[in-house]
Structure 1
Amino acid sequence: MSASPRPSGRAPDALRDVAIIPGFARHAEGSCLIRMGGTEVLCAASVEARVPPFLRNSGQGWVTAEYGMLPRATHTRGDREAARGKQSGRTQEIQRLIGRSLRAVVDRAALGEMTITLDCDVINADGGTRCAGITGAWVALNLALRHLMRMNVLKTLPLTGQVAAVSCGLVGGQAVLDLDYAEDSSADADANFVLTDGGGIVEIQGTAEKAPFTEPQFHELMVLAKLGTRKLFEIQRQAVEAA
């Protein structure tokens, strides 16, 4: 693809610099810190030997997520949701998305009756926090499941594949990959793609911020998302191997 006047100077099909540091939360069964450009999210997996009431005696496990942002993760201080007494609609929507994304690649029957909760806490936000949360949470979940295998709680790894997420958008009429905040706030359209390494689609969230976008433009975004997630899958695997 040709060069573009992106604020970061990146090519249209370039991810931000991505790093996944495994084992960042020392007490969690599995964890990592994921950095995507200026966005940093701490992902920690916690294991409990119980399931929600609707799954008791079903033989199936549960994977769920909670998401939050530190007060100064953004340019101005945000109130702690605990202090307000309730979560925002955005927070609830994102943590449900993370949970759905992870359950899409978990064999819950092989997991057995236990719950794994992924806490995704945004330390620094510069766009794409939900995508970074999903991508990092898969690493934390993988490491937690491997811990359970070492403890002889599980005999096999109950993962059916990898899941990662990336944002794409139309900025200045051009399709670009992995929007940072400067691009996200001025995009003509943006979308979040949650994809599996087997080529499956878990979820696509797309919105026209100005004029409606076309099917060919959506196809351009989808091509970029596949390219970006292929790179993210490799970085995930490297993080798990490094742990």
Structure 2
Amino acid sequence: MRIGGRKNDQIRPVKLTRNYTKYAEGSVLIEVGDTKIICNASIEDKVPPFLKGSGEGWITAEYNMLPRSTHTRKPRDISKLKIDGRTMEIQRLIGRALRSVVDLKALGEKTIWIDCDVMQADGGTRTASISGAFVALVDAINRLHKEQSFKVFPIRSFVGAISVGIVNNEKILDLCYEEDSKAKVDMNVIMTDKGEFIELQGTGEESPFSRRELDELLTLGEKGVKQVIQAQKDVLKIDCLWIGTGGE
């Protein structure tokens, strides 16, 4: 029996709270089991130097784990005067995942900053960050849409993410920290609501895994991502009607 009594193909409860902070154009608290992350989306009327004059926008992300988000205190990056490799990897992943479903030309020369701050970590922080950040991004772009009415709505599809793995020779969905720490295989699956893959991150922690096991994990991951995206749709309600339409 899994922790919390879940079935192998069952995700933890997903709760998304919109407008969680006061000032950001888009703000979401995502809770996936005991993992809790604040995702803020902020709009700037400028782009990085390499995009100036191109007519295209940009989406970039920063990810941070607060000092007591884990069992022992994690020092802030500023105290080490550098960003650790894991943090850099995750924030690049978040940015790539969101940019993949946004028409940056339609966005225009604006930058959307995504800040994901982990308040409490119990596994799956990178996947929860992507899923929560997408909702914050939708709210931010909807605010722009009300102000300037895009000719083409920039967001082409939903993005959801979930972890899968093999623990004690069982293929399981949405690993908590204890499961993740003893996984034989650990994988993150990022997909659209159209069933397209954006990114797969899979590692044989203890030994290689077979093509058959990979296929089974992808099937499990797809099932979990569909549930995450449904949670996004449920919380956005009518505010997600423009997604994928391409219309004004």
Q: Which bin holds the TM-score, normalised by the shorter protein?
A: over 0.9
Instruction: For 1:174 and 1:164, locate their aligned partners in 2 and report how far apart those are by CA, in whole Å.
Output: 23
Instruction: For 1:192 and 1:108, locate their aligned partners in 2 and report how far apart those are by CA, in whole Å.
Output: 25
Map of 1:12 onto structure 2? 8
Identify which range, 149-158 or 32-41, moves more after superposition: 149-158
Unpaired stretches in structure 1, ≥5 consecutive residues: none
Indicate the SS of the match to 1:94. helix
Give the deviation of 1:156 after TM superposition: 4.4
Asked if residue 65 in structure 1 is aligned to residue 79 in structure 2, the reply is no
Give the deviation of 1:242 after TM superposition: 7.7
Asked if residue 83 in structure 1 is aligned to residue 79 in structure 2, the reply is yes
CA RMSD of aligned residues (A): 1.1
Map of 1:99 onto structure 2? 95
Unpaired stretches in structure 2, ≥5 consecutive residues: 240-248
Map of 1:219 onto structure 2? 215
Give the deviation of 1:31 after TM superposition: 1.0
Letter aligned with residue 20 of structure 1: L
Instruction: For 1:240 and 1:155, locate their aligned partners in 2 and report how far apart those are by CA, in whole Å.
Output: 22
Instruction: For 1:157 and 1:147, locate their aligned partners in 2 and report how far apart those are by CA, in whole Å.
Output: 12
Instruction: For 2:67 and 2:139, locate their aligned partners in 1 and report how far apart those are by CA, in whole Å.
Output: 28
Give the deviation of 1:155 after TM superposition: 4.6
Letter aligned with residue 35 of structure 1: E
Instruction: For 1:105 and 1:149, locate their aligned partners in 2 and report how far apart those are by CA, in whole Å.
Output: 17
Identical amino acids, percent of aligned pairs: 48
Displacement over 2 Å in runs of 4+: 152-157
Map of 1:110 onto structure 2? 106
Asked if residue 232 in structure 1 is aligned to residue 233 in structure 2, the reply is no
Asked if residue 49 in structure 1 is aligned to residue 51 in structure 2, the reply is no
Letter aligned with residue 89 of structure 1: G
Indicate the SS of the match to 1:8. helix
Deviations 1:79-133 (A, max 9, x none): 0101211100000000000000000000001000000010000000000000000
Map of 1:180 onto structure 2? 176
- TM-score, normalization: structure 1? 0.96
Taking a change above 3 Å as real, the CA distance of residues 48 and 58 of structure 1, as seen in their structure-2 partners, is: same
Identify which range, 142-151 or 94-103, moves more after superposition: 142-151
Letter aligned with residue 163 of structure 1: V
Map of 1:202 onto structure 2? 198
Judge conservation of contact 1:146–1:157 (CA < 8 Å) in 2: no
Instruction: For 1:68 and 1:185, locate their aligned partners in 2 and report how far apart those are by CA, in whole Å.
Output: 20
Deviations 1:128-181 (A, max 9, x none): 000000000000000000011122264543101011110000011010000000
Instruction: For 1:74 and 1:242, locate their aligned partners in 2 and report how far apart those are by CA, in whole Å.
Output: 36
